[in-house]
C-alpha cells in the first residue's frame, strides 16, 4: 500500500512538473505573446495565429502566412485587449516571417531578444499564447544550429509542437527569446524548427521594397524605411506605383516621421496642386511655406517653389491664378535661390520662366550662363538658340552658331539622339535663306535616322531643294511623300506646286486635282490649280478655281483674280 502511494505521489509530482515546468520568468513573459487575426477586405476572417512583441512600442513578429492576402489585422493580447496592426515593417516569404507594428496606448510587455545564439544541447522553452484557462508550456533541447545570415540562425529543436504553437516564442533559460516556432510539414515529428529572432528583427523596409512581392502580397499599409535617405527614395519610387489614396497616406506618414525633411512637404504640395481647387491650393501653399522654414538649404526650397509655381502657370490654362502664384513670384523664388547659391540649374529654370513670359532676351542670357557651366549640353545650346531666334532683331547667324554648338556635342557618325538638332538647324538655315546648307542638314538627319523618316520630312527637304534649285531631288522627294501617304491632300498640293516651279503644268494640274478630290476645302490647291489653268489658257476655269480659293479664305487668290480678270 505504501509503495502504491509513493508511486502515485511521484506521478503527481511529474504531472505538476510538466504543467508548471516553465521557469519563474514565464508568467511575466507570457504577457508579450498574443493572438493574431487577419481579415479580408470584406471583413471576413482570413487566418488566425500567434505572435509576440519584441519591444514595448508595439513592434512584433509572426508568420508571413497569416498576413498574406490580408487587408487588415488585429492582435488580441494576453489580457484580452484588441489592438489594430498599424503597418508592416518587413516580410520574408521563404522563411515565413513578418515584422509589424501595432497600436499601443501605453508601453507593452515585450520579450528581450537574446544577445547570443543558443547552443546545441541547450534547454529551451516554448511560450504559448496564454489565457487564464491555458498557460502550459513546453521545453526541449537544441538539436542543430544553422547560420542563415550575419548573426542570424535557424534552429532544429528536439520538441514536438502543433500548428497552434506556430509563431510562439522559443526562450532560453535566462528568459530571452531566441526565435519563433515555424510550421512543421510533419505534425507527428518529434522535432520542431524555429527562425532566429535576430533574423526576424532584421526585417526592414528599404528604398526598393516598393517592388517586393512578399510585401505587396499583404494589403496592410507598409511602414517607411527607418533610414531617412532610404525613406526619401522609397517615397519617390512610390509616387508612380501607388494609387492616389495610398500615396497621399504615405506622404502624411513621411511628414509625420521626418517633419524636418522638405521632400515630404514638396511632394504633398504637388499632390494638392494637382487637385486644382482653391482649398487644395491653400493646403499646398501652407506646405510650401513649411518646406521653406524647415529646409537645411534654403536655396533648394526656393528653387523647388519657383519651379513648382512655374509649372502651375504653364499648365493652368484659363483657370484664375491662385494667390500670388504668378511667373513673377516664380522669378523671385529662383532669384532668391541664386542669391544664396549660384548654381547652373537655377539659371536653367530662370531661363525657362523668362521664355514662358516671352522675355526672350532675358531667357537667352540665363541659358548662356548655363552654357558656360558644367551643365552645358546640346539641349541647353538649343534653348539659347530658340530664345535668340525669338528675340526681336536677332541675327540668324548667331542662332545657327548656337545650333552648331548643339550638334557639336555629338560625335560623328550621328545617331538618333542628334537628329532633332540637325532637323532644327536645317529649319533655321531655311529661314536664313541658306537653302543648300539646309539640304545638307536634312541629309544628315536622314542618315542619323537610318532612313526611318515620314512624308513630312520629304516635303521639308523638298522645299529646301526647290529654293536651292535642286529640282530633280525636289521632285523625287515629293513623289516619295505622296507614295508614303497617298491620301494626304497637302502632300499632293505640294507636289502640284513643285511641278509648277519647273513648268510641268500637266503634272501640276493632275496633282492639284488629286489634292482637291481628297479635300474639297484645300484652298491653296484651288488657287494653284486656278493659276496653272490660266497659264494653260484656260482662263474661265482658272478664275473659277481662284474664286473658290478666295471663298475658302485664301488671301493670295484675291490678288491673282484682280490681275487676271483684266
Do both 312 and 437 map to the same domain? yes
pLDDT tens by residue, 374-430: 999 999 999 999 999 999 999 999 999 999 999 999 999 999 999 999 999 999 999
Do both 288 and 316 map to the same domain? yes
Task: For residue 534, give the C-alpha cell.
Answer: 490660266
pLDDT tens by residue, 127-143: 998 764 455 688 999 99
Query: According to the model, what pLDDT value does residue 135 have?
Result: 55
Domain boundary among 486, 520, 540: 486
12: confidence class by pLDDT, cuts 50, 70, 90: very low
Largest CA distance in the chain: 149
What average pLDDT score do residues 179-202 get?
92
Domain range holding 37?
Answer: 21-223
Interstrand relation of 33-39 and 45-53 (parallel, antiparallel or unpaired):
antiparallel
Do both 204 and 87 map to the same domain? yes
Handedness of CA 78, 81, 84, 86 (dihedral sign): negative
The span from the CA of 287 to the CA of 272, in Å, is 9
* Cα of 552 vs its chain's centroid, Å: 48
87: DSSP letter: E
Do both 309 and 445 map to the same domain? yes
Identify whether 166 is part of a domain. yes
Query: According to the model, what pLDDT value does residue 3 have?
Result: 44
- Asked if 196 and 177 count as a contact pair (C-beta separation under 8 A), the reply is no
Do both 496 and 555 map to the same domain? yes
Do both 292 and 159 map to the same domain? no
> Coil, strand or helix: which one is 168?
coil
Do both 190 and 264 map to the same domain? no
Task: For residue 59, give the C-alpha cell.
Answer: 513592434
Identify whether 4 is part of a domain. no
Average pLDDT, rounded, for the chain: 92
Domain boundary among 223, 248, 275: 223
User: The domain spanning residue 326 has which CATH number?
Assistant: 1.25.40.10
Query: According to the model, what pLDDT value does residue 83 have?
Result: 96
Do both 33 and 117 map to the same domain? yes
Place of cell 480659293: 549
**DSSP states of 222-265:** BPPPSSHHHHHHHHHHHTTTS-HHHHHHHHHHHHHH-TT-HHHH
Query: According to the model, what pLDDT value does residue 150 have?
Result: 85
Interstrand relation of 176-181 and 112-113 (parallel, antiparallel or unpaired):
parallel
User: The domain spanning residue 51 has which CATH number?
Assistant: 2.40.10.120
> Coil, strand or helix: which one is 106?
coil
Identify whether 1 is part of a domain. no
Backbone angles phi, psi at 146, to 5 degrees: -120, 135
Task: For residue 204, give the C-alpha cell.
Answer: 526592414
Identify whether 2 is part of a domain. no
CA angle 400, 401, 405 (to 5 degrees): 115
Strands (E), 22-63: 33-39, 45-53, 59-62
The span from the CA of 442 to the CA of 484, in Å, is 18
Query: According to the model, what pLDDT value does residue 151 have?
Result: 86
How many domains does the structure of the chain reveal? 3
Domain boundary among 175, 199, 223: 223
- Nearest CA to 176 out of 114, 108, 116 is that of 114
Identify whether 447 is part of a domain. yes
Does residue 1 have a pLDDT over 50?
Answer: no
What average pLDDT score do residues 19-29 get?
80
| Predicted model pTM | 0.79
Task: For residue 504, give the C-alpha cell.
Answer: 510641268
The span from the CA of 82 to the CA of 439, in Å, is 78
Task: For residue 150, give the C-alpha cell.
Answer: 550575419
Do both 481 and 373 map to the same domain? yes
Across 343-364, b (16+ Cβ under 10 Å) vs e yields: beebbbbbbbbbbebebbebbb
The span from the CA of 231 to the CA of 565, in Å, is 78
Dihedral, CA atoms, 115, 121, 122, 126, nearest 10 degrees? 100
The span from the CA of 230 to the CA of 315, in Å, is 32
Do both 364 and 475 map to the same domain? yes
Do both 416 and 538 map to the same domain? no
Amino acid at each position: 500500500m505504501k509503495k502504491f502511494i509513493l508511486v502515485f505521489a511521484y506521478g503527481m509530482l511529474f504531472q505538476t512538473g510538466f504543467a508548471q515546468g516553465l521557469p519563474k520568468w514565464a508568467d511575466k513573459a507570457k504577457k508579450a505573446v498574443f493572438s493574431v487575426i487577419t481579415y479580408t477586405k470584406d471583413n471576413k476572417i482570413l487566418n488566425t495565429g500567434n505572435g509576440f512583441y519584441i519591444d514595448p512600442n508595439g513592434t512584433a513578429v509572426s508568420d508571413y502566412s497569416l498576413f498574406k492576402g490580408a487587408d487588415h489585422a488585429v492582435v488580441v493580447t494576453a489580457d484580452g485587449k484588441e489592438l489594430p496592426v498599424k503597418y508592416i515593417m518587413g516580410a520574408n516569404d521563404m522563411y515565413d516571417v513578418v515584422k509589424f507594428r501595432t497600436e499601443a496606448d501605453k508601453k507593452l510587455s515585450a520579450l528581450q531578444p537574446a544577445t547570443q545564439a543558443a547552443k546545441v544541447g541547450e534547454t529551451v522553452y516554448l511560450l504559448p499564447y496564454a489565457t487564464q484557462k491555458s498557460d502550459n508550456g513546453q521545453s526541449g533541447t537544441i538539436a542543430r544550429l544553422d547560420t542563415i545570415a550575419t548573426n542570424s540562425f535557424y534552429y532544429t529543436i528536439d520538441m514536438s509542437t502543433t500548428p497552434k504553437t506556430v509563431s510562439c516564442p522559443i526562450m532560453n533559460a535566462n528568459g530571452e527569446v531566441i526565435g519563433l516556432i515555424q510550421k512543421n510539414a510533419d505534425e507527428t515529428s518529434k522535432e520542431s524548427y524555429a527562425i532566429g529572432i535576430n533574423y526576424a528583427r532584421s526585417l526592414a523596409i528599404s528604398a526598393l521594397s516598393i517592388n517586393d512581392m512578399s510585401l505587396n502580397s499583404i494589403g496592410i499599409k507598409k511602414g517607411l524605411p527607418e533610414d531617412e535617405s532610404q525613406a526619401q527614395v522609397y517615397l519617390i519610387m512610390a509616387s508612380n506605383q501607388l494609387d492616389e489614396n495610398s500615396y497621399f497616406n504615405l506622404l502624411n506618414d513621411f511628414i509625420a516621421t521626418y517633419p524636418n525633411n522638405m521632400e515630404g512637404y514638396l511632394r504633398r504640395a504637388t499632390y494638392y496642386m494637382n487637385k486644382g481647387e482653391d482649398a487644395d491650393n491653400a493646403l499646398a501653399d501652407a506646405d510650401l511655406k513649411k518646406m521653406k522654414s524647415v529646409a537645411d538649404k534654403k536655396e533648394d526650397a526656393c528653387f523647388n517653389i519657383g519651379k513648382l509655381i512655374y509649372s502651375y502657370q504653364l499648365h493652368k490654362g484659363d483657370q484664375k491664378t491662385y494667390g500670388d502664384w504668378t511667373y513673377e513670384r516664380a522669378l523671385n523664388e529662383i532669384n532668391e535661390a541664386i542669391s544664396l547659391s549660384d548654381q547652373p540649374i537655377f539659371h536653367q529654370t530662370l531661363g525657362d520662366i523668362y521664355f514662358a513670359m516671352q522675355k526672350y532676351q532675358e531667357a537667352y542670357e540665363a541659358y548662356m550662363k548655363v552654357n558656360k557651366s558644367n551643365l552645358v549640353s546640346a539641349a541647353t545650346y538649343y534653348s539659347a538658340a530658340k530664345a535668340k531666334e525669338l528675340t526681336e532683331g536677332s541675327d540668324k547667324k548667331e542662332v545657327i552658331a548656337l545650333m552648331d554648338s548643339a550638334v557639336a556635342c555629338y560625335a560623328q557618325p550621328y545617331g538618333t539622339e542628334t537628329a532633332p538638332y540637325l532637323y532644327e538647324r536645317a529649319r533655321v538655315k531655311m529661314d536664313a535663306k541658306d537653302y543648300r546648307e539646309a539640304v545638307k542638314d536634312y541629309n544628315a538627319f536622314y542618315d542619323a535616322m537610318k532612313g526611318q523618316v515620314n512624308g513630312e520630312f520629304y516635303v521639308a527637304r523638298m522645299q529646301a531643294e526647290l529654293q536651292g534649285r535642286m529640282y530633280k531631288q525636289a521632285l523625287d522627294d515629293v513623289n516619295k511623300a505622296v507614295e508614303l501617304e497617298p491620301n494626304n491632300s497637302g502632300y499632293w498640293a505640294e507636289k502640284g506646286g513643285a511641278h509648277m516651279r519647273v513648268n510641268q503644268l500637266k503634272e501640276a494640274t493632275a496633282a492639284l486635282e488629286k489634292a482637291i478630290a481628297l479635300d474639297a476645302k484645300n484652298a491653296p490647291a484651288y488657287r494653284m490649280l486656278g493659276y496653272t489653268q490660266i497659264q494653260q489658257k484656260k482662263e474661265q476655269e482658272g478664275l473659277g478655281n481662284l474664286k473658290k480659293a478666295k471663298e475658302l479664305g485664301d488671301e493670295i487668290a484675291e490678288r491673282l483674280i484682280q490681275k487676271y480678270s483684266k
